[in-house]
Structure 1
Amino acid sequence: MKKFLIIGLGNIGEKYENTRHNIGFKILDYFAKKETLTFETQKLGEVATYKFKGRTFILLKPNTYMNLSGKAILYWMTKEKILLENMLVITDDLNLPFGSIRVKTKGSAGGHNGLKDTQDKLNTSNYNRFRFGISDAFSKGSQVDYVLGEWTPEEDKVLNERLDQAVALIKSFGLAGINTTMNLFNGK
């Protein structure tokens, strides 16, 4: 059975629960709710397992806080013997319009501390990432407040439809592969 590690980046705690920076957690929580999965607290994170069409998807929400995500990712990749190409990291992206999707097989951290730590721990920038656009609708000097701010009522209205797309993207990644998934979802 093919195994995939799907990591949603975010920060633990109620204070961060509905923030833009926690879109990785939000996507995995939505996935778990749709598929009636339960996350369990395990070493370095909250973990749920989803079996679908001969594939096993291990959903991971690191509890190391965003800036130390790589430690949890490396641990679970090693523990579950996940190949690098079968890993997908879900993160927020300020450089994309709200709700837009970009899937890539490699790239820079782009100033994102969760991705930077992942690259440091894995010793490579060649890993699959799913960037969810949160837009850059903030004034100069207020980036941290914006990223750690909660979704606006307007964004909240659109979010469920975008979360459905995200769940479809994750399943496509496991069933059809990264290239097909990029072709189907990028720019949507």
Structure 2
Amino acid sequence: MSDDAWLVVGLGNPGPTYSGTRHNVGALVVDLLAARAGANFKSQRRLRADVAETRIGGIPGSRAVLAKPHSYMNESGGPVGQLTDFYKITPERLLVVHDELDLPFGTVRLKRGGGDNGHNGLRSVRARIGTGDYCRLRFGIGRPPGRMDPAAFVLKPFSAAEKRDLELEVDRAADAAEAVVVDGLVYAQNHYNA
């Protein structure tokens, strides 16, 4: 893989049981990126992920590896580390797309670095690659209602009201991810963090 390639990882849990849950919104965004690029995922057992090598936005120099780990969320670091090692991707060229409890539903925020804020997938990635200084696309899922346990909330499907807007919000998140790959993090932050 070339030096200018990006690795875009959509975090989630494997299998149909979890496919429509809030915790899997990262995988939804990466699925849309692949569909836009006309790329097909291939299961890479040794990398423990579904992987699609493609160009984002069809522009030369916007090479990207799109990936969805086969592991459960709290073990995401294993596949992410194997992917970064195999494709020789530095943390500066890693974009992790994940759900974020501390943002209202559908809010997109891009950043580099920071703590894991209780997110087990991010904690696992940091432990495996040895740094938290990678790019993140945080997709807001909001806080659980009442006294619901956040761990239970993230594994529930989106509400009927959220489902009405989900496609639009995932589309916007995919736009933001494309902007990071094609134009860089600062440009994308200026356009999507408003």
TM-score under structure 1 length normalisation: 0.95
**Distance in 1 (alpha carbons) for counterparts of 2:167 and 2:148:** 30
**Distance in 1 (alpha carbons) for counterparts of 2:190 and 2:7:** 21
Structure 2 unaligned regions, length at least 5? none
- Could you tell me the percent identity over the aligned residues? 33
Q: How does 1:68-147 map to 2 (within 5 A)?
A: 68-147=75-154
Give the C-alpha shift of residue 57 in structure 1.
Answer: 0.9
* Structure 2 partner of 1:17: 19
| Secondary structure, counterpart of 2:177 in structure 1 | helix
**Distance in 2 (alpha carbons) for counterparts of 1:132 and 1:141:** 20
Structure 1 unaligned regions, length at least 5? none
The farther-off stretch of 103-112 and 178-187 is 178-187
* Structure 1 partner of 2:43: 41
Could you give the per-residue CA deviations for residues 45-94 of structure 1, whole angstroms, max 9, x where no partner exists? Answer: 00012213122110010111111111111111111111211110010000
* Structure 2 partner of 1:58: 65
| Secondary structure, counterpart of 1:16 in structure 2 | coil
**Distance in 1 (alpha carbons) for counterparts of 2:179 and 2:157:** 29
Amino acid at match of 2:54: Y
| Residue number among 11, 25, 28 corresponding to 1:26 in the alignment | 28
**Distance in 1 (alpha carbons) for counterparts of 2:36 and 2:167:** 11
Give the C-alpha shift of residue 167 in structure 1.
Answer: 1.6
**Distance in 2 (alpha carbons) for counterparts of 1:95 and 1:110:** 9
Give the C-alpha shift of residue 137 in structure 1.
Answer: 3.5
Q: How does 1:165-176 map to 2 (within 5 A)?
A: 165-176=172-183
**Distance in 2 (alpha carbons) for counterparts of 1:26 and 1:86:** 20
**Distance in 2 (alpha carbons) for counterparts of 1:80 and 1:115:** 20
TM-score under structure 2 length normalisation: 0.92
| Secondary structure, counterpart of 1:173 in structure 2 | helix
Could you give the per-residue CA deviations for residues 160-185 of structure 1, whole angstroms, max 9, x where no partner exists? Answer: 11122112111111111111111111
CA RMSD of aligned residues (A): 1.2
Could you give the per-residue CA deviations for residues 104-147 of structure 1, whole angstroms, max 9, x where no partner exists? Answer: 11100000000001111111111111100000032214322211
